[in-house]
Structure 1
Amino acid sequence: MNWSQLFTSAVGKKITMALSGIFLILFLIVHAGLNACIWANDGGVMFNEAAHFMGATVVPRVLEIGLFVFFLIHIIQGIVLEIQNRSKRGIGYAVKMGNRGSTWNSRAMGILGALVLIFLVIHLSDFWFPSRFGGLESMYIDTASNQIVPPGTAGGKEYHDLYGEMQHQFTQYPWIIIVYEVGVIALFWHLVHGFQSAFRTLGLTNHKYINLIKGTGVVYSVIICLAFMLMPLSFYFGWIH
């Protein structure tokens, strides 16, 4: 299979969906881990420092470009496969294994993917674009004591206050929380099917391991999505400050 077939043939499209999906699965671990810094309950010091590292360091920025490339590949191939599957009355991009029937979320991957895409666009416009292109307030952190200090304090370093923006959005606009919760629920069901489907597509169809992969996918999806669901709720209910 050459490079053009990898993006144009039926099998190639499934492989690129699987590979891009696995990359995005790994990204969600990093993203959830970074966002979990809000629970340090230190006024956003750890979170803003971590966000600054991800935005100002060369390697994460290069990986960020790769992330957007994989997002585009996954979205485009997903749309194409969904159209093809509907025309053929298919159920998704997993390699068939002779199993009887299918789960509802495997049949609804297109709808779930569309909801996740809408959620992603809102998320980027709320937080990623302001953090990269301006529009956020500043926070000054003393590099020695790791404490928030007033502007102009000796030893104080300026950071984008992404934590403050999250706090503002999630405490002042309850409808945003609803959108996020719905988006994360859609992400959960998308991941539950997509996790095991990606590995099946890549040829891991041994019955000895497939149940382990399914179980791992469910546990992964629960942990990641529960973390994302609790973040806006933590701000709204004042569990962190």
Structure 2
Amino acid sequence: MSWISNTFSSSIGRKIVMAATGLFLCSFLVVHLAGNFQLFKNDGGLAFNAYSEFMSHNTIIRILEIGLVAGFGFHIYEGLTLALKNKAARGTNYVSDHIEQNSPWHARSMAVLGSIVLFFLIVHLYNFFGTLRFGEPIKDSQGNENAYALVVDAFHNPLYVALYVLAQLALLYHLLHGFQSAFQTLGLTHRKYTPAVKLLGIVFSVVVCAGFASMPIYFYFFN
């Protein structure tokens, strides 16, 4: 089994883990965004509360959460490890430095962008996950935990709205590089299909991040 540990402790192995977990987390973003669009239903939050109740108490979803937490954990750990190794090696390899200087700024700032998203995620989980799982939130007219009320309250806080939008901007640039880079790392490239993958990455990044950012903006200014 030593070849497995050696492979995944190498730079190439770490990049493979980063790519695989990154694409997995992209699928989570799609599911999470689709569920959160229930917020826009004009029903006083009943649909969103029902969705939140299902996600919080369904046994299968709870089991899948373990995989999600593991995905986040591996992605964050490997990302930080690679960033520290790259920082330590910087200045000792002229070719690598030259390539880095000619890459887009967001490609050189993945660790910083990821750290902004991580900080937001911690605050976000504390505000919502912590309250719903360990607090005593009020119930709606259907007897579900009123997660909608928590959202409305949070999205009327200008500091939280600013943090939320900033995090989506950071996530946007993180995805712009990470999405296509993941395909390249996994060897899923071809001169015929790579342009389509790049376009898909741009569309995915913009749509997902704009979708998430639209929620705090809508509730702060229009609700």
Equivalence for 1:170: 155
Q: How does 1:35-114 map to 2 (within 5 A)?
A: 35-89=36-90, 101-114=102-115
Deviation at 1:134, TM superposition (A): 2.0
Deviation at 1:140, TM superposition (A): 2.6
Q: RMSD of aligned C-alpha atoms? A: 1.8
Deviation at 1:135, TM superposition (A): 3.3
Equivalence for 1:10: 11
Look up the SS of the partner of 2:140 in the other structure.
strand
Equivalence for 2:178: 194
Contact 1:137 1:160 in 2 (8 A): yes
Aligned length: 215
Equivalence for 2:199: 215
Identical residues among aligned pairs (%): 41
Equivalence for 2:95: none
Contact 2:33 2:211 in 1 (8 A): yes
- Amino acid across the alignment from 1:230: S
Are positions 1:228 and 2:208 aligned together? no
- Amino acid across the alignment from 2:153: H
Equivalence for 2:24: 23
Contact 2:55 2:61 in 1 (8 A): yes
Deviation at 1:238, TM superposition (A): 2.8
Q: Deviations over 1:93-128 (max 9, x none)?
A: xxxxx9993111100101101111111111111111
- Amino acid across the alignment from 1:70: G
Q: So what's the TM-score if we normalise by structure 2?
A: 0.91
Contact 1:6 1:15 in 2 (8 A): no
Equivalence for 2:222: 238
Equivalence for 1:123: 124
Deviation at 1:42, TM superposition (A): 0.8
Equivalence for 2:145: 160
Structure 2: how far apart are the matches of 1:6 and 1:31? 32
- Amino acid across the alignment from 2:194: I
- Amino acid across the alignment from 1:65: I
Q: So what's the TM-score if we normalise by structure 1?
A: 0.85
Structure 2: how far apart are the matches of 1:7 and 1:123? 31
Look up the SS of the partner of 1:33 in the other structure.
helix
Give 1 or 2: higher strand fraction.
1
Q: Deviations over 1:50-89 (max 9, x none)?
A: 1111111111111111101110100000000001112223
Give 1 or 2: higher helix fraction.
2
Contact 1:6 1:16 in 2 (8 A): no
Look up the SS of the partner of 2:189 in the other structure.
coil
